[in-house]
Structure 1
Amino acid sequence: LVPLALLIAIVVMVQTAATSRSFAPQDGEAPDVNRDFVGVGAGSIVAGLFGAFAVNSSPPRTAIAAQTGGRSQLSGLIAATIVLALSTFGGSLLANVPQAALAGVLMFVAQHILRWQVFAAVYRQAPFEFALILITMVAIVVLPIETGVAIGIGLSLLHGIWGSTRTEPIELAQVPGTSVWWPPSGPSAGEQRPGVLVAAFQAPLSFVNADRFKRGLRDLVDARSDEVKLVVLEASNIVEIDYTAAQALIDVIRHCRDKGAVFAVARMESLRAQEALRRFGVADLVGTQRIFQSVDAAIKSLGPGQTQQQDEAQ
């Protein structure tokens, strides 16, 4: 029963999210999909106690309630009461409803759920993601639903992983006249500080990109090994660090020290990443005095001239 239960849970979540976003309130308030998940989850638990079907949002009934002016929870309760009364006492009336009428209701609902303008925008701006949409649609229609859903989820996960694995460390340059360090994008995009290498990694650090991070940052250091005395990792985009990535970061730090350069971390804003530095011993290896809130603060404190003065004082 476990595979079937997981499939039902996924279908319920996908359909509930699609229904909530397709029939959002007219006042512009964003739908709270998490609250809807809690609602259908609690309803499914209660339904399981009575041997009933899993609870799910209903696109047809939602469309009817929305088009008739229903905006509150009271409208949902009234609609549920009507459905209960019809299913209990109105079976003979429903038997005479033409199937074409029911099909018309479903087609009406489909017009609200299938956002063709969004599809067209995705096709123009992100052809690869549009291909994922088409493959998922075809898989769900042609293959068994559990297989189609699994293919869609798997392709989405692979797409996200692929983006993370292709990330490379980049060297930043200082915007002239400011303390801002930015990826160079033109011939006059920025300036370099003598003896200072500021590098950034614009993705979470995990096992899927740890080796690329280590090799890329070591290559940047080796390319300027004769002059670099301070390496600053601008970590504003590193929101997560796992064990494998932490070991790669430790290897980079030791490589910098072998080259005679001080290693510092700047702008690590993620609390999870900060906790990972402490848990994996990276913070102790770097030294809390070399973890800064800005690149500019790191350079002022640990720049080539400042580092020499500190060493002489010690």
Structure 2
Amino acid sequence: MLRYDIAAGLTLAAIAIPEQMATARLAGFPPQIGFFAFLAGSFSFAAFGSNRFLSSGADSTIAPIFAGALALLATRGTPQFMALASFLALLVGGILVLGFLLRAGWVADLLSVPVTTGFLTGISIHIFISQLPALIGLPSVEGSEFYRVAEMAKHWREANPAAIAIGLGSLATIIIGEKISPKLPAALIALAGAAFAVRYFHLEERGVAVLGKVSTEFPHPRFPEIAPADIPQIVGLAIIIAMVIMVQTAATSRSFPDEEGRAPDVDRDYLGVGAGCVMAGLVGAFAVDASPPRTAIVTATGGRSQLSSIVAALVIAALLLFGASLLEHVPNAALAGVLMFIAARIFRLHVMRDIFAKTRGEFALVALTMAAVVALPVQNGVSLSILASLLHGVWTTTRSRLITFARLPGSSVWWPCASSGAEPYGERLEGVLVAAFQAPLSFLNAYGFQSDLREAIEEKPKLVVLEASNIVEIDYTAAGILRQAIEDCRAAGADFAIARFESVRAHEALTRFGVMKTLGEGRLFRSVDEATKALAPDAVASKITAPTLLARKSRAFRPPSASA
């Protein structure tokens, strides 16, 4: 295992060196701070995390979020800005550790794929706009994205041809290297080539900006000092950053499991990344995150354990101690090229095309999220993205409606009613209504359930059977409405039964909320057929050739044959 981990660690270091420098620059920090973040993330995750391959460190997904938000409180690069970022890292780490203690892995499921796609697309546009001045040799500009674009449009004639050549050359080198092999350290080659070009052709004299002297002093752990008035503003930002980290950590852990078929321990991975954030905050760096691309490099190069990340961290520490002078002539335009490549990699055009082709409604969610992240302050755009995802989930739940079931001829199978032209699609029992609700029953949809059932019993059935196989959860509000629905049916002269009530949690809720007492003895069955035979044994079957009112509300589909 040792030789595999050493080889993977060396490759990871070659990939991480330019990426961590570029991400630190994106966050408004000196390049060595990116290395400190990688050291903190790597060692902490190796000690506390679960996944054997996951790489933790400075990440370009969260850097624009906290950098943009903190820039409203302090000027980028100042001691105050750096102290705020370190304090933010401590808060984020604390939230992630709390997520581990509360087993909050489910939080990662709150962002849907369309919302995540729109969010990442907006972040990639942020990165592109923020790095374009460095790529073309113009001074960086603070302000909204629209203001930055307007300022660049005013001064485009002042662009530096040498910086453009360096930036585009670096970007082309990375793209070509990635095409040849993802294992090739193309970004490191691009930075080395750019630094050589700057020195050989004396490009600093032509106005090409470089990193300059890189500090080799390792920081001493200490608690960052900030003004108490800034704490309330940072707490909300910490929650947003922590949620984004949770989503990305869970996605990374699930995409690269330790063993095929074994569920990842996402909660334990929260602890590993959270410990990395705490350590990063104590050494004067910023919050760290799980990195899907770097984790993919570890698995692709044969890494077997977290020793790969430790080897990479030791290589970077050695670079800081003995080779920092090699970084002095790295041009900012080359780092901008690295970030441009990262922005292109998280711009999920193929996912957007797929969503657009299959669901225009959810593509609108992609567009809304992307526009919010770009047009608003980043933290506000991300907050709106999270809210949009939650509202979308709520809206999806509220769309659940009561549907009717028909029995497949010659069988004991009851299936949702559907129409196929004039062809018979099932049979019903005279005086029997079999209906189903295909979602958890909660305050979000219980009133719609009640309305649909009241409309259904206007046909005066003698027996109503609720097929409840998909009702896996019932809350207090829904339980009260279900009790009322049972009483409404009995007041209308119909008996009421529940069939296929399989959820243990929902069954406990019915008992706890008193629904079982209202339902009465002998009214809970293991199948619809069992319920109809027990409570309506003499009901006559008849074929149906048109959907009922309730079936017309649901999406129709052809049921399988009785033999199936």
TM-score when normalising by structure 2: 0.49
Q: 1:7 aligns with which of 214, 237, 240?
A: 240
Contact 2:404/2:436 (<8 A) preserved: yes
Residue 32 of structure 1: CA displacement? Answer: 3.3
Q: 2:264 aligns with which of 18, 22, 32?
A: 32
Task: Report what 1:286 is aligned to.
Answer: 519
RMSD over aligned Cα atoms: 2.9
Q: Letter of the aligned partner of 2:290 in structure 1?
A: S
Which ranges in structure 1 are unaligned for 5 or more consecutive residues? Answer: 307-314
- Is 265-274 or 44-53 further displaced after alignment? 44-53
Tell me the secondary structure at the aligned position of residue 361 of structure 2. Answer: helix
Task: Report what 2:352 is aligned to.
Answer: 119
**Counterpart Cα distance in 2 of 1:246 and 1:51:** 52
Bigger radius of gyration, 1 or 2? 2
Contact 2:447/2:481 (<8 A) preserved: yes
Tell me the secondary structure at the aligned position of residue 76 of structure 1. Answer: helix
Instruction: Establish whether residue 209 from structure 1 lines up as the match of residue 445 from structure 2.
Output: yes
Residue 13 of structure 1: CA displacement? Answer: 2.0
Residue 41 of structure 1: CA displacement? Answer: 2.6
Residue 105 of structure 1: CA displacement? Answer: 3.4
Task: Report what 2:317 is aligned to.
Answer: 84
Q: 1:199 aligns with which of 435, 458, 466?
A: 435
Contact 2:257/2:264 (<8 A) preserved: no
Residue 54 of structure 1: CA displacement? Answer: 3.1
Contact 1:230/1:302 (<8 A) preserved: yes
Q: 1:54 aligns with which of 261, 283, 287?
A: 287
Q: Letter of the aligned partner of 1:208 in structure 2?
A: L
Instruction: Establish whether residue 132 from structure 1 lines up as the match of residue 365 from structure 2.
Output: yes
Measured at CA, do residues 33 and 145 of structure 1 come closer, stay the same or move farther in structure 2, by a change above 3 Å?
farther
- Is 189-198 or 128-137 further displaced after alignment? 128-137
Contact 1:236/1:270 (<8 A) preserved: yes
- Is 112-121 or 209-218 further displaced after alignment? 112-121
Q: Letter of the aligned partner of 2:445 in structure 1?
A: N
Q: Letter of the aligned partner of 2:264 in structure 1?
A: D
Residue 176 of structure 1: CA displacement? Answer: 1.1
**Residue by residue, what CA displacement relative to the aligned partner does 1:12-67 show, whole Å, maximum 9, x if unpaired?**
2234345556x747997798372533421343355566665333124564466466
Q: 1:265 aligns with which of 485, 495, 498?
A: 498
Q: Letter of the aligned partner of 1:279 in structure 2?
A: R
**Residue by residue, what CA displacement relative to the aligned partner does 1:197-242 show, whole Å, maximum 9, x if unpaired?**
10111222111211111011111011x21xx221110111112111
Measured at CA, do residues 83 and 270 of structure 1 come closer, stay the same or move farther in structure 2, by a change above 3 Å?
farther
Residue 282 of structure 1: CA displacement? Answer: 0.4
Task: Report what 1:309 is aligned to.
Answer: none
Q: Letter of the aligned partner of 1:57 in structure 2?
A: A
Residue 96 of structure 1: CA displacement? Answer: 2.2
**Counterpart Cα distance in 1 of 2:470 and 2:246:** 29
Contact 2:258/2:264 (<8 A) preserved: no
**Residue by residue, what CA displacement relative to the aligned partner does 1:137-169 show, whole Å, maximum 9, x if unpaired?**
222223222211111111111111112222221
Task: Report what 1:312 is aligned to.
Answer: none
Contact 2:256/2:296 (<8 A) preserved: no
Tell me the secondary structure at the aligned position of residue 466 of structure 2. Answer: strand
Task: Report what 2:191 is aligned to.
Answer: none
**Counterpart Cα distance in 2 of 1:208 and 1:131:** 23
Measured at CA, do residues 275 and 170 of structure 1 come closer, stay the same or move farther in structure 2, by a change above 3 Å?
same
**Residue by residue, what CA displacement relative to the aligned partner does 1:58-96 show, whole Å, maximum 9, x if unpaired?**
456446646655454221221122233334544332232
Task: Report what 1:44 is aligned to.
Answer: 277
Identity among equivalent positions (%) equals: 56
**Counterpart Cα distance in 2 of 1:111 and 1:298:** 58
Measured at CA, do residues 61 and 84 of structure 1 come closer, stay the same or move farther in structure 2, by a change above 3 Å?
farther
Measured at CA, do residues 133 and 95 of structure 1 come closer, stay the same or move farther in structure 2, by a change above 3 Å?
farther
Task: Report what 2:485 is aligned to.
Answer: 252
